[in-house]
Amino acid sequence: MTTPGVAVELVELTRVYGTVKALDGLSLRIEPGELVALLGPSGCGKTTALRILAGLDEATSGAVKVDGKDISGVPANKRDMGMVFQAYSLFPHLTVLDNVAFGLKMRRKAKADRLSRAKEMLELVGLSEHSHKYASELSGGQQQRVALARALAIQPRVLLLDEPLSALDAKVRTQLRDQIRRVQLEVGITTLFVTHDQEEALAVADRVGVMNRGRLEQLAAPAELYANPATPFVAEFVGLNNKVAARVSGGTADVLGTVVPTLPGSVASGEGLAMVRPESVTVTADPAGSARVSSVAFLGPTSRVYVTLPDGEVIGAQLTSVAARAFAPGDPVTVGVDADGVLVVPS
């Protein structure tokens, strides 16, 4: 069942619609068996890139290579890629089993063979008992699992997922995304996963590509992306951030009274705004402190403690709820920064 993964390469893809540049020279290489997530706000070009890879859209310039071969001229129905759409892609007039077997029917496989393979795929996604139902009788999450089974049934070389979880409820989303990742690892297929939800991207991907206005801002492993954002856009888009006044000189920044090394891409010297994650902010009770607690928000396992600085700005610190219990609105505190590096952007 494991297909040997193939490498996928997008080379300088550009897509222009009239005066709008949906893609601006996107280059990306996905290693065999890797899951790369394309992350970005709507309109950033991630779905355009995926559709060009699938053959459903044509690039204005640039090339698409699979396993080293240029497939830019190959029509969509000959590309041997499995695709999962955002919603409503199951054929309503066919049962679940027939849906999953559809691709095999197009390849003229014998009936017995395609039904047995379809059943295998349904077992992989855990929906064997539903094989004789119709799409309208399934929940959104179940439909997407069937769509996944259908895409994998044809043993494609590449798996493409276009915001597969965006139309689902929050709880179903987390369960399904883990299941998709599990299946992807088990099958070992090269995968491109498009989403606007950064938590989703960080959770499932081997590497995440953050896109903005048709360009790739940064491509890195989730942890790296989170800790060392390469551009202000990435720092803003991924995870939460406080923006705190800081002074930079000689490769370090003076933030909230603490000296922290600056990350590449930061302002070289002078005044700037440091992007500090809530979990990197330290709050200590201090009767002589110049900052005041403004409010505490209980979030379950963690809490957010909001502190008003002497200059009037409010920042949020993330503490365990146990630690946060020590603080109440009005308490005087001292704040600091505990991070290996910080990105400083111009004010």
User: Which of 93, 171, 288, 312 forms a contact with another protein (CB under 8 A)?
Assistant: 93
Which of these ranges, 102-110, 188-196, 258-266, 298-306, lies near another protein under the rule CB under 8 A? Answer: 102-110
Could you tell me the sign of the dihedral formed by the alpha carbons of 146, 125, 204, 35, in that order?
negative
Q: Are strands 81-84 and 158-162 parallel, antiparallel or unpaired?
A: parallel
Question: Is 17 among the residues that bind another protein (CB under 8 A)?
Answer: no
User: Which of 89, 190, 195, 280 forms a contact with another protein (CB under 8 A)?
Assistant: 89
- Cα dist from 215 to 38, 163, 212, whole Å: 11, 19, 5
Which of these ranges, 4-12, 49-57, 58-66, 334-342, lies near another protein under the rule CB under 8 A? Answer: 49-57
Q: Where are the beta strands (DSSP E) in the chain?
A: 8-17, 20-30, 35-39, 61-66, 69-70, 81-84, 158-162, 190-195, 207-212, 215-220, 242-249, 252-255, 258-261, 270-276, 281-285, 291-298, 302-308, 314-320, 332-337, 343-345
Count residues near another protein (CB under 8 A).
Answer: 31
CA distance 133 to 258: 62
Question: Is 55 among the residues that bind another protein (CB under 8 A)?
Answer: yes
x/- letters, 124..163, toward another protein (CB under 8 A): ------------x----------x--xx--x-----x---
Question: Is 85 among the residues that bind another protein (CB under 8 A)?
Answer: yes
Residue placing its CB nearer to another protein in the complex, 141 or 239: 141
The pair phi, psi for residue 116, each rounded to 5°, is -70, -40
Question: Is 106 among the residues that bind another protein (CB under 8 A)?
Answer: yes
Tokens linked to 117 = 């393979």
Question: Is 335 among the residues that bind another protein (CB under 8 A)?
Answer: no
User: Which of 103, 141, 222, 232 forms a contact with another protein (CB under 8 A)?
Assistant: 103
Which of these ranges, 42-50, 91-99, 192-200, 225-233, lies near another protein under the rule CB under 8 A? Answer: 91-99
- Give the list of residues 6+ apart from residue 185 with CB closer than 8 angstroms, or none: none
CA distance 203 to 60: 33
Residues that bind another protein (CB under 8 A): 54-56, 75-83, 85, 87-93, 102-103, 105-107, 136, 147, 150-151, 154, 160
